[in-house]
Amino acid sequence: MKAVINRRYGSPEVLEIRQVPKPAPKAGEVLIRVHATTVSRTDCGMLRPHPYFVRLFAGLRRPKRAILGMDFAGEVEAVGTGVTSFKPGDRVFGLSPDVYGAHAEYLCVPEKGAIAAMPADARFGEAVVCEGAWYADTYLQGFRLKPGRRILVYGASGAIGTAAVQLAKSYGAKVTAVVATRHLDLVRALGADRAVDYTAEDFTQIGETFDCVLDAVGKTTFFRCRRLLKPEGVFAATDLGPWCQNPLLVIWSLITGSRRVIFPLPLSSKARAFVDFLKTRMEAGEFRPVIDREYPLEAIADAYRYVETGQKTGIVVINVRPPGENAPA
Ligand SMILES: NC(=O)c1ccc[n+]([C@@H]2O[C@H](COP(=O)([O-])OP(=O)(O)OC[C@H]3O[C@@H](n4cnc5c(N)ncnc54)[C@H](OP(=O)(O)O)[C@@H]3O)[C@@H](O)[C@H]2O)c1
């Protein structure tokens, strides 16, 4: 099968599209014929780990995972012994958070992993939305978001931000989305109650306070957002922050008690339940994919270069099979 191999760390030029042996499903595993995947900021971070300590997880001298790609959508090609929930021909989507491997024509995932039947009527390329949404939901769960709570999402135009706006709305929250001018209409269409243009005004001076502030793009700080928080308000960010301050602030705010900082991490053990949940939200029309660009597998290095700019809107899809094969059943 064709796969995108990264044997060493570096720029997208190190990626090689090679023929490698097709995996065979072991007991309890499902072999998926991948139709679509994404290039995410996580993939970019695994290709060029930063800060350096990320290599403790990604591989000290060279990448532990030779094939990246966490989101997948495709058809079940074969199942290992003991598998009862899926059969060949089933259309499925999901996440492979432990082994990655979706930048390839075939991928094996555990039957009990983060895999579900495709949302009704979705194209494969529209279903590869789990990763950013899973991170977004991890923060919203950390906030214990309830109906009527007010949340500000800073950087609401990326994969995590667009998902956070939609999921927060589906939990009944009042959402203020902070984006650049070009994304104002998008976040309104996603359900934001208020859209603020960070290029035109200081988003910290908008005359409102919030129960939760999520920096969905890692570009602001707790100290800048502090004045936006109610006394019992909570701040979270998707990045470590300058000098890794966000995890340290978690400890500090446990001591001080007010205007807390949280830094929840997505747990693989919860990914399956999340994929099932996202399917229900998509089928209810409460969550839709925001697709910026689509690339064929052969042009994946270009996709990495684009995602690395930090300018994408929502997700960047890789069509592993020709898009003509990528239609609802
Ligand atoms: N914690 C985790 O497990 C985890 C995992 C994956 C990723 N991350 C981190 O999460 C962050 C978000 O990931 P993502 O994939 O959602 O990002 P993304 O899709 O790459 O976000 C890009 C968007 O952010 C906007 N943006 C750029 N600079 C901005 C600024 N200064 N203020 C507001 N918006 C800005 C861009 O539009 P404009 O430039 O037009 O504003 C663009 O639409 C990244 O920093 C990534 O490293 C964390």
Residue-range domain boundaries for the chain: 2-129+289-325, 131-262
| pTM for this model (two decimals) | 0.96
Q: What is the pLDDT of residues 265-320, one digit of tens each?
A: 999 999 999 999 999 999 999 999 999 999 999 999 999 999 999 999 999 999 99
Residue 158 CA: nearest ligand 1 atom is 19
Phi-psi region of 101 (alpha: psi -120 to 50; beta: other; left: phi over 0): left
Q: What is the pLDDT of residues 90-142, one digit of tens each?
A: 999 999 999 999 999 999 999 999 999 999 999 999 999 999 999 999 999 99
Q: What gap in Å lies between CA 146 and CA 37, rounded to an integer?
A: 32
Residue 219 CA: nearest ligand 1 atom is 31
* DSSP structure class, residue 21: P
User: Bridge partners of 196?
Assistant: 178
What is the CATH code of the structural domain delimited by 2-129+289-325?
A: 3.90.180.10
Give 14: exposed, middle or buried? Use CB within 10 Å, 0-12, 13-18, 19+. middle
* Total count of residues recorded for the chain: 329
Ligand 1 centroid from CA 127, angstroms:
20
- Spatial neighbors of 279 by CB under 8 A, at least 6 apart, are 93, 116, 117, 118, 119
Give 221: exposed, middle or buried? Use CB within 10 Å, 0-12, 13-18, 19+. middle
Q: Whose CA is nearest to atom 10 of ligand 1?
A: 238
Q: What gap in Å lies between CA 226 and CA 204, rounded to an integer?
A: 9
- Spatial neighbors of 298 by CB under 8 A, at least 6 apart, are 17
What CATH homologous superfamily does 131-262 map to? NAD(P)-binding Rossmann-like Domain (3.40.50.720)
Q: Whose CA is nearest to atom 2 of ligand 1?
A: 238
**Residue from 238, 263, 293, 316 whose mutation best tests the ligand 1 pocket (most atoms within 8 A of CB):** 238
Strand duo 115-117 + 106-110: pairing: unpaired
Ligand 1 centroid from CA 49, angstroms:
16
State yes or no: pLDDT of 326 exceeds 90: no
- Spatial neighbors of 303 by CB under 8 A, at least 6 apart, are 39, 293, 295, 316, 318
Q: What is the pLDDT of residues 33-86, one digit of tens each?
A: 999 999 999 999 999 998 778 888 889 999 999 999 999 999 999 999 999 999
State yes or no: pLDDT of 328 exceeds 60: no
Where does the pLDDT of residue 254 fall: very low under 50, low under 70, confident under 90, or very high at 90 and above? confident
Q: Is the CB of 219 under 6 A from ligand 1?
A: yes
